[in-house]
């Protein structure tokens, strides 16, 4: 059995409106953060953390856990605690998904409320469908962190772990034996980086392996980022929950999700998983919150027109075309990951222009029964993803205005 790694890469931008992180909790646990919405010069720092080798002990609990709606049991768990965390989501009736929030003490209630409302919207957009595997979509624990206040994040981490150890005693995440040896804080470096900076936004666990999802939300400087980051992260939960088999291995899950489409099958390939999450988050933020396509066009345009990752290698589009690499061979980490996210999102825009947004949901609704990522792709879109990628690369030779013209306006 392979030993799970914790690979952790973080970019910090000069004006970081948000970070996305997907911690894929599988055999490889990867996290990425993506800065957005900046025209400022970019400072990029990358930290790659050590291995949480003992995470293998967490290997898929024998799924006897049956998720429950917010129940008397949970209510009494909450009431018995000395502080207010966790709190149930109250902005809507989110059942049958159970959402509990752990809110750092310096996160304003108004910002907590936006996170709640964005999760409510994501349920309507992604989950309220016939094919949803509700059991695998719950529970979701949200850690709302103040990016400027690491101390409150470390305090919250301890409250969170007290809860996890009580409710999920088998979970590896808060087990002191699995602590990160490179953590320089007084905590466990779940809600901070090793050097003490507050963690970026991510989905940091999976229902299949951990019994629950942990959605870490780093605070943002503007409301829009709160909305589309939550829509991005909740889309990851939708993706992962599309696999109903609770006993699937981490490697099996990674294959279904398209993470094994690189030439090197040992590396996570984020183009599809992140490309869809990036595109869907900006698409639905524009459609549902702004009622215009301005935001979507601006965010997608930045991948064509800016050196988004501060690499000095040109725009994301130029970096992609100049690399000579297949889109699936861009990995998490370094300058690669922004290209995977950005051009992955453009590939999704290309597909949506040809086939419509609902096809994305159709893909996930048949993913498991199709037997694999590629089979589901062909069943949904008629041809292999490589066939579309070849066309996509030719499409990218068009002028920027022609490329932009496939977006809704």
In sequence order, what E strands does 5-83 have? 5-8, 28-31
Task: For residue 285, give the nearest of 327, 226, 326, 211 by alpha carbon.
Answer: 226
Q: Does 42 bind Zn ion (CB under 5 A)?
A: no
Does residue number 277 form part of the binding site for Zn ion (CB under 5 A)?
A: yes
Q: Would you count residue 103 as binding Zn ion (CB under 5 A)?
A: no
Contact indicator for 397, 322 with CB cutoff of 8 Å: no
Residue 218 forms beta bridges with which residues? 145
Identify which of residues 214 and 277 has a Cβ nearer to Zn ion in the complex.
277
- Give the residue with the Cβ less far from Zn ion, 159 or 274: 274
Other C-beta atoms lying within 10 Å of the C-beta of residue 397: 9
- Measured distance CA(43)–CA(63) in Å, rounded: 43
Exactly one of 6, 9, 22, 189 binds Zn ion (CB under 5 A); which one?
22
Minimum gap (Å) between residue 203 Cβ and Zn ion = 7
Q: Report how many residues bind Zn ion under the rule CB under 5 A.
A: 4
CB of 72 to Zn ion, least distance (A): 35
Stretch of 110-118, 275-283, 354-362, 385-393 lying at the interface with Zn ion (CB under 5 A): 275-283
- Which region, judged by CB under 5 A, interacts with Zn ion, from 62-70, 182-190, 277-285, 378-386? 277-285
Q: How near is the Cβ of 213 to Zn ion at its closest, in Å?
A: 13
Interface map 201-240 toward Zn ion (x if CB under 5 A): ----------------------------------------
Least distance between Zn ion and beta carbon 282 (Å): 12
Question: What is the rounded CA–CA span in Å between residue 119 and residue 139?
Answer: 13
DSSP 143: E
Q: How far is the CB of 148 from Zn ion (least distance, A)?
A: 23
DSSP state string for 157-194: HHHHHHHHHHH-TT-STT-GGG--TT--SSS-SSSB-T
Q: Least distance (Å) from Zn ion to the CB of residue 363?
A: 17
Strands 213-218 and 140-145: parallel
For Zn ion, which is the closer residue by CB, 155 or 302?
A: 302
Rank residues 127 and 272 by Cβ distance to Zn ion and give the closer one. Answer: 272
Q: Which is nearer to Zn ion, 89 or 234 (CB)?
A: 234
Asked whether position 20 contacts Zn ion by CB under 5 A, the answer is: yes
Is residue 115 within 8 A of residue 144, CB to CB? The reply is: yes
State the Cα torsion 317-14-221-227 to the nearest 10°: 20
User: Using CB under 5 A, which of the segments 23-31, 102-110, 266-274, 282-290 binds Zn ion?
Assistant: 266-274
Task: Single out the segment in contact with Zn ion by CB under 5 A; choices: 242-250, 269-277, 313-321, 357-365.
Answer: 269-277
User: Measuring CA to CA, how many Å separate 236 from each of 20, 64, 106, 160?
Assistant: 11, 23, 27, 21
Fill in the DSSP letter of residue 28: E
- From CA 319, how far away is CA 321, in angstroms rounded? 6
Contact between 89 and Zn ion per CB under 5 A: no
Q: Please enumerate, as own/partner, the contacts of 283-290 that have beta carbons within 8 Å and a separation of 24 or more.
A: 283/352, 283/357, 284/121, 284/125, 284/228, 284/231, 285/224, 285/227, 285/228, 285/231, 288/121, 288/125, 289/224, 289/227
Nearer to Zn ion, 163 or 361 (CB): 361
H helices of 168-270, in order, are 207-210, 223-241, 250-256
Part in contact with Zn ion (CB under 5 A); list of ranges 99-107, 137-145, 273-281, 348-356: 273-281
Closest residue to Zn ion using C-beta atoms: 22
**What are the backbone dihedrals phi and psi of residue 229, each rounded to the nearest 5 degrees, phi first?**
-70, -40
Stretch in the footprint of Zn ion (CB under 5 A) among 138-146, 271-279, 281-289, 371-379: 271-279
Residue number with CB closer to Zn ion (154 or 280): 280
Distance of CA 348 to the CA centre of its chain: 16
CB of 232 to Zn ion, least distance (A): 6
CB under 5 A: which stretch of 110-118, 153-161, 267-275, 382-390 binds Zn ion?
A: 267-275
Report the interface residues with Zn ion, using CB under 5 A: 20, 22, 274, 277
């Amino acid at each position: 059995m392979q030993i799970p790694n914790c690979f952790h890469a973080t970019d910090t931008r000069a004006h970081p409106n948000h970070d996305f992180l997907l911690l894929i909790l599988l055999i490889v646990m990867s996290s990425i953060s993506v800065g957005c919405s900046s025209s400022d010069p970019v400072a990029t720092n990358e930290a790659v953390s050590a291995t949480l080798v003992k995470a293998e002990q967490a290997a898929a609990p024998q799924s006897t856990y049956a998720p429950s709606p917010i129940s008397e049991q949970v209510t009494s768990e909450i009431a018995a605690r000395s502080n207010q965390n966790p709190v149930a989501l109250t902005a809507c009736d989110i059942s049958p998904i159970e959402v509990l929030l752990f809110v750092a003490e310096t996160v304003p209630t108004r910002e907590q409320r936006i996170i709640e409302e964005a999760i409510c919207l994501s349920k309507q957009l992604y989950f309220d469908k016939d094919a949803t595997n509700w059991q695998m979509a719950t529970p979701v624990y949200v850690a709302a962190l103040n990016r400027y206040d690491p101390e409150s994040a470390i305090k919250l981490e301890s409250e969170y772990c007290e809860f996890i150890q009580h409710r999920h005693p088998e979970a590896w995440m808060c087990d002191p034996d699995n602590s990160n040896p490179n953590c320089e804080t007084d905590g466990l470096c779940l809600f901070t980086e090793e050097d003490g900076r507050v963690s970026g936004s991510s989905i940091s666990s999976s229902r299949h392996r951990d019994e629950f999802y942990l959605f870490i939300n780093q605070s943002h400087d503007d409301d829009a980022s709160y909305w589309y980051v939550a829509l991005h992260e909740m889309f990851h939960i939708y993706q992962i929950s599309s696999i109903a088999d609770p006993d699937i291995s981490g490697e099996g899950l990674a294959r279904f999700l398209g993470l094994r489409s690189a030439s090197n099958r040992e590396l996570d390939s984020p183009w599809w998983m992140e490309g869809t999450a990036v595109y869907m988050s900006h698409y639905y933020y524009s459609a549902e919150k702004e009622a215009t396509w301005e935001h979507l066009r601006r965010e997608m345009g930045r991948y064509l027109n800016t050196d988004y990752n501060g690499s000095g290698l040109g725009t994301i589009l130029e970096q992609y075309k100049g690399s000579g690499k297949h889109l699936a061979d861009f990995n998490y980490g370094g300058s690669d990951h922004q290209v995977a996210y950005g051009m992955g999102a453009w590939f999704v825009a290309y597909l949506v222009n040809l086939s419509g947004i609902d096809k994305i949901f159709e893909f996930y609704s048949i993913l498991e029964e199709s037997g694999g990522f590629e089979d589901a792709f062909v069943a949904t879109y008629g041809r292999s993803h490589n066939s579309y990628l070849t066309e996509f690369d030719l499409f990218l030779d068009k002028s920027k205005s022609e490329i932009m013209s496939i977006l809704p306006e």
